[in-house]
Structure 1
């Protein structure tokens, strides 16, 4: 029962991510592959649990997982960019519908009885490994960008905790198909939390090192002789910056008026002569 509660937390861990997607109306750099793989794995485990006896916990948690992951994918498709939306729909149709249907047909017609349960069990192991390995591309992105913005810590934490619980559950049932993939899940979960700790601190250090950029704006100064000259002036956020710019503009206008007055005076002298 504890494993089901923690697995529920794993499924609900991405909720803040999808709230963010809903508010920003964009999926940003978040990827749909982990959710597609999680849905496929939940579907397989649900079928496996229905064939095997005394696995009510597997039935309930994977039924919940199918509903939640489908909701996530639907939200992702709505707010994703065109390219991401198309690729997500293609994967959903080919893997979660096509491949799953093929597995059901082959398992039903080619094998039977206890052999079918064993085959499905090892298929579940294989795809559970894929589910745990799906975030590896996220880890590459974290290492490359040194940013953990798109790797939620809560998901990594509950994934690790869930792996421990389901590993213990598999040992109690003496079911290697349940126990084995959770060893990899535990290792990958620890790796994600380790990277989060490293690059979260590194990101803070980088932000402290960065100095605010100096924005430059061009001020046109009318010269007494020749054309206008352009000088870059630091844009200062304080109120004095606006006053200084105003003074410079007033001085330029006065210079222009002086030049016009001098030209008028010269023309009047010429006329007098």
Structure 2
């Protein structure tokens, strides 16, 4: 498990080495820093968890390595990001990796104790990890929902395409022709 964690932290090296031309041009071009910023926060939370939990030294050690690796990636982004994105990336790092982490540490230290503190830190780490790993699916969700709604619409059309109008429908149509469509649906209380 720990070897997989180390490989997870080192996996972006392939991206950087394949795109060495970007580093030679001193530009990150179309790469986003958000995944690295969030992974740095996640490693920091899990290191804090490992330090706080009795017997959690292994968790703290491997995620401490993750902090180092992710910090290198974030620094590379801050060095090579185009000037118009440098401020945005710096603010993102400040809010997420400094602000949120500091707030999490201060709140859990002041407001929680013992197993409750450890559980809260673990919950934050797990929640962030789920978001990080699930984020690629965000592109698929709107398409999936659209597919389901479109399919439902086709089924409804197939069911009701040959339906005959009822006498009640023609009565409603007659009222609408007489101007009743402008009547309020809910009458005011007097």
TM-score (norm 2): 0.67
Equivalent in 15, 18, 24 of residue 16 of structure 2: 18
Which is greater in Rg? 1
For residues 164-222 of structure 1, the C-alpha deviation after alignment (integer angstroms, 9 at most, x for no partner) is: xxxxxxxxxxxxxxxxxxxxxxxxxxxxxxxxxxxxxxxxxxxxxxxxxxxxxxxxxxx
Q: CA–CA distance in 1 between the matches of 2:86 and 2:135?
A: 18
Runs of 5+ in structure 1 lacking a partner? 144-273
- Is 1:91 the equivalent of 2:89? no
Q: Give the 5 Å matches for 1:68-107.
A: 68-107=69-108
Distance 1:78 1:61 in 2: 26
Report the Cα distance in structure 2 between the residues aligned to 1:65 and 1:39, rounded to whole angstroms.
7
Asked if structure 2 preserves the Cα contact closer than 8 Å seen for 1:33 and 1:134, the reply is: no
- Equivalent residues in 2 for 1:129-144, closer than 5 Å: 129-136=130-137
Deviation at 1:31, TM superposition (A): 0.7
Is the contact made by 1:46 and 1:59 (CA closer than 8 Å) also made in structure 2?
yes
For residues 137 and 72 of structure 2, the distance between their equivalents in structure 1, rounded to whole angstroms, comes to 23
Cα contact 2:28–2:81 (8 A) shared by 1 = yes
Cα deviation, residue 135, structure 1? 4.1
Offset, 1:61: 1.1
Whose strand fraction is larger, Structure 1's or Structure 2's? 1
- Please state if 1:4 is matched with 2:2: yes
Alpha-carbon distance between aligned partners in 1 of 2:74 and 2:82, rounded to the nearest angstrom: 14
CA separation in 2, counterparts of 1:122 and 1:53? 17
* Structure 2 gap ranges (5+): 144-190
The whole-number CA distance in structure 2 between the counterparts of 1:11 and 1:136 is: 21
Matched, 1:115 2:116: yes
User: Within 1, Cα distance between the matches of 2:110 and 2:57?
Assistant: 25
CA-CA distance at 1:136 after TM superposition? 4.8
- Structure 2 distance, partners of 1:8, 1:103, is 25
* TM-aligned CA deviation for residue 58 of structure 1: 1.0
Any residues of structure 2 matched to 1:181-220 within 5 Å, and which? Answer: none
Q: Matched residues in 2 for 1:132 and 1:83: separation?
A: 28
2:49/2:56 contact within 8 Å kept: no
Runs of 4+ in 1 over 6 A off after TM superposition: none
| Cα deviation digits, residues 86-117 of structure 1 (max 9, x gap) | 21110100111011111111101111111111
CA RMSD of aligned residues (A): 1.9
* Cα distance, 1:11 vs structure 2: 1.0
